[in-house]
A = this chain, B = another copy of it.
């Protein structure tokens, strides 16, 4: 009687199965998997309630029996990918362990290029997110700091990895929704950048443009970034090679 919309719902508090009625045709895992499959194949914009329903082989509105709002579908997707994280027995070297975590996160984002766009702290309470969190905390057991600091480290690491991979993927992912190719777009933008820089208004950018020391090793850049983040929390390090 009190309007159904007025009470907040978090999908994880909803029981997946209640007593009454016909048994559901799908599990949440089925639905998440279907959505992830679709997003991997067609990009995040390919994930519509209709498409996911079709992928599952049911009517569009039937999906709403499982997922009250589309955003909850997103939450299921993020949680499903979180379940792909393989956890291990931390080895005592927390920096090495956290690097491994970061590499896994990056790999997951490469497998699922739509993931960075969905990364949000509000999804941090899903079952797999909690498992992941606990695991990271276990990795940091040897790191003598308050939990608050460890959470800051984790937030910063995830933030950096997310924006890093976003940059890695941005041109490629963007091309998916454009009527022209990625290379064409890049060429036009670079040409424009060149023309602007050549105007003389941006001497340092011009210099940076000239510098251009060969091809960029993205792997090395990522590595350096991790070092820098970790260094910020434990300054003493044995020559992590700041060039």
A residues near B (Cβ < 8 Å) are 5-10, 12-13, 120-122, 125, 127, 130-131, 133-134, 137-138, 141, 145-152, 155-156, 158-160, 162-164, 166-167, 170-171, 174, 178-180, 184-185, 187-189, 192-193, 196, 201-205, 207-208, 211, 213, 216, 221, 224-225, 227-229, 231-233, 235, 242-243
In the complex, residue of chain B having the shortest beta-carbon distance to the beta carbon of A141: B204
- Contact call B125/A189, Cβ cutoff below 8 A: yes
Report which of B174, B184, B233, B243 forms a contact with A145, defined as CB distance below 8 A. Answer: B243
Report which of B5, B174, B231 forms a contact with A235, defined as CB distance below 8 A. Answer: B231
Q: Which 10 A-B pairs have the closest CB atoms?
A: A228-B232, A159-B163, A147-B208, A137-B204, A5-B179, A134-B202, A8-B180, A8-B184, A8-B188, A8-B185
In the bound complex, how far is the Cα of B228 from the Cα of A232, in angstroms? 4
Report which of B130, B148, B155, B185 forms a contact with A205, defined as CB distance below 8 A. Answer: B130
Query: Known pairs A8-B180, A147-B208, A235-B235. 7 more at Cβ < 8 A?
Result: A10-B188, A121-B170, A125-B192, A134-B203, A149-B243, A152-B225, A228-B233
